[in-house]
Structure 1
Amino acid sequence: MTREIDPITLEIIRNQLEGIAEEMGSVLIRSAYSPNIKERQDCSTALFDHTTAKPRMIAQAEHIPVHLGAMPAAVAAVVAKDPHPGDVWVLNDPFTGGTHLPDVTMVSPIAPDGEIIGYGVSRAHHGDIGGMTPGSMPAGAREIYQEGLRLPPVPIVTGGEINQHVLSILLANVRNTTERRADIQAQIAANTRAADRLKELQAEYGSELLPDAFDAVIDYSETRMRSEIASLPDGTYHATDYLEGDGITTDNITIAAAVTVQGETLAVDFSGTDAQVAGNTNAPRAVTESAVYFVVRAVTNPDIPPNEGCYAPIDISVPTGSLLDPTAPAAVVGGNVETSQRVTDVVLSAFAEALPESIPAQSQGTMNNLIIGSRESSGFTYYETIGGGFGGRPTADGLDGVQVGMTNTKNTPIEAVEVEYPMRVERYCLRPNSGGAGMYRGGMGIERSITISVPATVSVLSERRIIGPRGVAGGRDGAVGENLLDNEQVPGKFTRDVPAETTVTIRTPGGGGYGDPKARDLDAAAADWLDKLVTTDKDT
């Protein structure tokens, strides 16, 4: 029987749980070796309970949406293997709880008194996980085996001791083993911190009250989410958008969604979405679900504490064997980073039918993944997602040069790039004229140019190079992005070996504009001219 917990105590416990998740993230970031984690903070942490048949997220750090919404599948996959206290389980297999292979997840049972009460979970994008190209994100992959080492749930720590057999297999299949080993140890340290803090919490509140607090925290979020959904207009709302090819062809790939609001529940149906494709833009179901959860939180109330309760009123239907729920051995590395962004766009567009005065114009809709690496055994791997324009909003301009949608990483500072890698940054600036004109203009994209001092392999996975982010309510579309090698335009998705002193330039899309450009405030337009964000009057 669940006991009643007074609201003040419950709020204190909820904040303590979120504090544990945030502290896990701090340990991971401060302990990691790779710039991708310590600088870009491409990682996420969370806590799950073990008081019901299904492990439930009870708290998360404010990290990466595509990581966090997909975590429940990973924890469920580990729990099915009957983990024991003192273990740490590792996985990255997209078909058993992972997202894409570079995202390595670790799950640790927490048992203060010998009985498991929860799990500490960390997920981090590793700079390399093997496969056919440095950085493990090849544009032309046709099956998952080409993308890297595939790990189903296995214990990397058993009874408190690192399983050297598992670790040796992992390190034998990746590039830059020193960096990989250190990042693995950082994740283990983060999970250890979760165990320490949750044990302290149980000592403070007792083994009987804490599980009841888990239930109450989840129930609170569910109650608030149901109330928010109930405030939306009932009905079914449709939207369709497209990916610009799968890395094998440039044929458009359809993503269709129908969002049905009925009372305090919400259903999203992806019937009409294309079948899984030959290339790597297939998105595992957990990634698809993560994108839906992100959008629902964004259009309701992002202040609702994020946990299992937020997702309980949401039903998601995805055709098996489709782009958004592929079957093995489909390639998926681009699905996590690019298809997730388009799912976000499609579901937001469907909500725009219900909430036309609340949803912004489309943002850049891509992560602009840039991967540069050496094929030498002692070489390097650099990974970056590059921000772009946020869509014009109903009451304000879009933000310039920001990460949008399913990613929330920082950039790698120029100083860090030039210290850590044989590369130099030639240009890093906002991209004038890239935001769609409107009463509220779209945010500007970014231009980032890097010269590589040694022979290397360059991979780019990007979108919105053909179809720009849509403006709404009379606003203009945002500018499409561009990729260049030594000033020659190249496709949105490619992998190439390049000689030393090659310059790679990524120009990211701008956001769409909101409203009629003729209604734009004259002072705002003048400020854009003075800031050199707008240098042409073709769209004003």
Structure 2
Amino acid sequence: MTTATPATPAPAGSDVELDILRYGLIEVAREMLDSLMRSAFSPICRDILDCTVVIHMRTDEGWEVAALWEGCMQHAFVAPHIANFLMDDWDIDTMQPGDVVFTNDPWRGSLHQADVNLFRPVFVNGRVEFLLQSTSHLVDLGGPIPGGFSNGATSHFEEQLKLPPTLLYANDVAVRPTFNFLLENNRVPHLVLGDLRALHGCLVVGERQLQDLVARGGLEQVRAAGRYAIDATEASMRRGIAAIPDGDYTAEDLLDEDGVTDELIPVRAMVKVRGDSMEIDFSGSARQPLGNSSTAWCEAGRCIEAVKLMVDPSTPVNSGTLKPIDVLLPAGSVVQTLPPSSCSSHADIGPRVINVVTQALGQATEESFACDTGTAVYIGFSGIDTRPGHEGTPWGAYGLAGGGWGGTWKEDGVSFCVTPIGNCRTSVQEHVEIESPLVVAQHEMLIDTAGAGRFRGGLGSVYTIVAESDTLVTVVADRLRRGAAGANGGGPGAPAVGWYIAGFDLAAHGDPMNLRGAEPLFGVFDEQGRPDPVHGEFGRGARYTTGKFSNLVIKAGDAIRLIIGGGGGWGDPLTRDPERVRQDIRNRLVSVEGARLTYGVVLADGGTDGVVDAAATEARRAELAAARDAGTWEVPIAAPLEWTV
């Protein structure tokens, strides 16, 4: 639970001096992240940027985040708590210069056990005044399933290694037993060793830069600048919250299931706005699931991303971001699971929590946005390389294909983008193909996947990966039955779908709309095997009745293809500018038939290059509006229409 406290008065010193120093702190963090990204070995840190660096400042109220620089947005929003979790366990008086403490325990601050956190004290005049933190997902830390998303696990004992705060470096010398324990219990020790060294190295860079800033500005002024930064962000958040009418706003969203049972998992939030403060109460959300789809505590900060995006998107994130907001997490629920449960698969509950808070706040203000795709559709790959020159090399890689963000009150949603909880980059495909026995045959936006609206959602994508060696695959996907919800009368985005393609041949299988030779893995399909979220049946003809599975083997020469849905639409699609619909048709974002069915827009010649038939469009929109009033039509769930079977 975060604590709402009033902003304190600005510290002594001119605003100009404090601004220079507070942005100096941010610059230190930026250089730390640059160092981490440039020296990391694995693609998940180096390319995808599933990492963050933080400067924590010692205060009378505990450790507070004065500055950070994120690659992965969710790490930034949980960082204000992590140092306090750690230092509750660690005796600060035993710390020495050059020490680095490691932990990946979700109940002590990690998102899940695959995310590791390194902390380094910074001494000024013999006293620890700052803690520097570097965080990243590691490619592997052992356990039965490579990569850290342990589908099917019901306890953390079935997952990767979990370490309480443990000394990793002492006086900048590697603690050999700790390293040996980590490296001898994972599948890709060369990648893990490289990333751990990078995580340590960026802390060394950060301390050097921070000490230089203190030497130039003075400790008290740097501390004052940190306080000034926190107070400025808090004040900006409070101004944004104060613009929302007081009231209680409730919304509910659903997870498909937990990978073990087929029960829907409701996520419910009541957002209470009072003046410039807010309470987010998750009472009424589902009990902690049997599978691994819950989180230990991190929604206390991560749900605040939704508020930040809506009311104060421009100020730097620090401890001040969280101060105006109380978050209530029921113990033993999907948003605060209790040990020894598993919470390794946080990549779906996180987006859902963001979605439910934005839906609630959308009731209070028109300046809102529809749900994003709501699932990262994480895919993990691993195996033993058999390519010439690489024989016998263990390897691991990740895919984040990118879906769509929701339409907003003023513009279409962002297309082809990882969910906001991550806000990471997708993989660098050339690096994937050089370092792994994989070929990315396809990674592009897919027509008719965006939720319809006055401002449509962003488009989703199709992602096709061919294995050159036998490859073990884990998939974590949600929103399979119904896509991301629209807002203010907008339609849902497309749901996620997956196929297995044996003997992949680009000439025969390159068209993602051609389903010949594609075996359904998961999704909603009609009798002919076409994805159809309106009339189809979940799991019909598919290998899995879940989007959360592990240990799928892709044989060399075969492929897996995923569709990641688009964002929800905002506003009535029958009011969308017909010319914008025509442009979407021309750009192959919306099909001609999709435009007629969802937007009521008709082109004069029926082709993709035609002009809008104004009379036919007016008549079609009147017909759809009348049907909606009669209860016989609603905005369809987005779905590609031009399948070949």
Partner residue of 2:430 out of 381, 406, 415: 415
Tell me, yes or no, if the aligned pair for 1:133 and 1:457 is still in contact at 8 Å. Answer: no
Task: Compute the displacement of 1:3 (Å).
Answer: 5.0
* Residue aligning to 1:258: 270
Task: Compute the displacement of 1:2 (Å).
Answer: 8.6
Task: Compute the displacement of 1:484 (Å).
Answer: 1.6
Q: Which structure 2 residues correspond to residues 194-233 of structure 1 after superposition, within 5 A?
A: 194-233=206-245
Task: Compute the displacement of 1:389 (Å).
Answer: 1.2
Deviations 1:356-397 (A, max 9, x none): x11111110111100111168842111122211111221211
Deviations 1:27-48 (A, max 9, x none): 0000011111111111111111
Residue 59 of structure 2 aligns with an amino acid whose one-letter code is T
Deviations 1:217-255 (A, max 9, x none): 222222222222222110110001110000112210011
Unaligned runs of at least 5 residues, structure 2: 1-8, 386-391, 502-517, 522-545, 600-645
Percent of matched pairs sharing the same residue? 30
- In 2, Cα distance between the equivalents of 1:226 and 1:476? 32
* Residue aligning to 2:462: 447
User: Quick check: 1:98 aligned with 2:106?
Assistant: no
Task: Compute the displacement of 1:330 (Å).
Answer: 1.0
Residue 216 of structure 2 aligns with an amino acid whose one-letter code is E
What is the SS of the residue equivalent to 2:348? helix
User: Quick check: 1:269 aligned with 2:272?
Assistant: no
Q: Which structure 2 residues correspond to residues 428-447 of structure 1 after superposition, within 5 A?
A: 428-447=443-462
User: Quick check: 1:390 aligned with 2:445?
Assistant: no
Partner residue of 1:488 out of 499, 516, 519: 519
Tell me, yes or no, if the aligned pair for 2:254 and 2:267 is still in contact at 8 Å. Answer: yes
Q: Which structure 2 residues correspond to residues 42-81 of structure 1 after superposition, within 5 A?
A: 42-80=50-88, 81=90
Unaligned runs of at least 5 residues, structure 1: none
User: Quick check: 1:116 aligned with 2:128?
Assistant: yes
What is the SS of the residue equivalent to 2:251? strand
Give the count of matched residue pairs: 537
* Residue aligning to 1:338: 348
* Residue aligning to 1:516: 572
- In 2, Cα distance between the equivalents of 1:351 and 1:531? 33
- In 2, Cα distance between the equivalents of 1:12 and 1:203? 14
Distance 1:2 1:267, change over 3 A: closer
Residue 497 of structure 1 aligns with an amino acid whose one-letter code is L
Output the TM-score relative to the length of structure 2: 0.81
What is the SS of the residue equivalent to 2:598? coil
Task: Compute the displacement of 1:398 (Å).
Answer: 1.4
Q: Which runs of 4+ in 1 moved over 3 A?
A: 375-378
- In 2, Cα distance between the equivalents of 1:473 and 1:195? 49
* Residue aligning to 1:31: 39
CA RMSD of aligned residues (A): 1.6
Tell me, yes or no, if the aligned pair for 1:73 and 1:96 is still in contact at 8 Å. Answer: no
Residue 548 of structure 2 aligns with an amino acid whose one-letter code is K
Deviations 1:395-428 (A, max 9, x none): 2111211122201111112211111100111211
Task: Compute the displacement of 1:445 (Å).
Answer: 0.4
Tell me, yes or no, if the aligned pair for 2:22 and 2:228 is still in contact at 8 Å. Answer: no
Task: Compute the displacement of 1:121 (Å).
Answer: 0.7
User: Quick check: 1:172 aligned with 2:184?
Assistant: yes
What is the SS of the residue equivalent to 1:217? helix
- In 2, Cα distance between the equivalents of 1:475 and 1:454? 44
- In 2, Cα distance between the equivalents of 1:428 and 1:305? 32
What is the SS of the residue equivalent to 2:589? coil
Tell me, yes or no, if the aligned pair for 1:60 and 1:307 is still in contact at 8 Å. Answer: yes
What is the SS of the residue equivalent to 1:429? strand
* Residue aligning to 1:193: 205
Greater C-alpha Rg: 2
* Residue aligning to 2:557: 501
Residue 373 of structure 2 aligns with an amino acid whose one-letter code is Q
User: Quick check: 1:322 aligned with 2:333?
Assistant: yes
Tell me, yes or no, if the aligned pair for 2:401 and 2:443 is still in contact at 8 Å. Answer: no
Distance 1:52 1:524, change over 3 A: same
Distance 1:3 1:265, change over 3 A: closer
User: Quick check: 1:528 aligned with 2:584?
Assistant: yes
Tell me, yes or no, if the aligned pair for 2:73 and 2:424 is still in contact at 8 Å. Answer: no
Output the TM-score relative to the length of structure 1: 0.96
Task: Compute the displacement of 1:210 (Å).
Answer: 2.3
Deviations 1:291-342 (A, max 9, x none): 222112111112223211121111111111111111111111112x110110
- In 2, Cα distance between the equivalents of 1:311 and 1:15? 20
Tell me, yes or no, if the aligned pair for 1:142 and 1:278 is still in contact at 8 Å. Answer: yes
My pick for the range that moved more, 1-10 or 259-268, is: 1-10
Partner residue of 2:307 out of 296, 319, 335: 296
Partner residue of 1:347 out of 350, 353, 357: 357
Residue 182 of structure 2 aligns with an amino acid whose one-letter code is L
- In 1, Cα distance between the equivalents of 2:333 and 2:549? 23
* Residue aligning to 2:419: 404
What is the SS of the residue equivalent to 2:124? coil
Tell me, yes or no, if the aligned pair for 1:375 and 1:457 is still in contact at 8 Å. Answer: no
Tell me, yes or no, if the aligned pair for 2:77 and 2:317 is still in contact at 8 Å. Answer: no
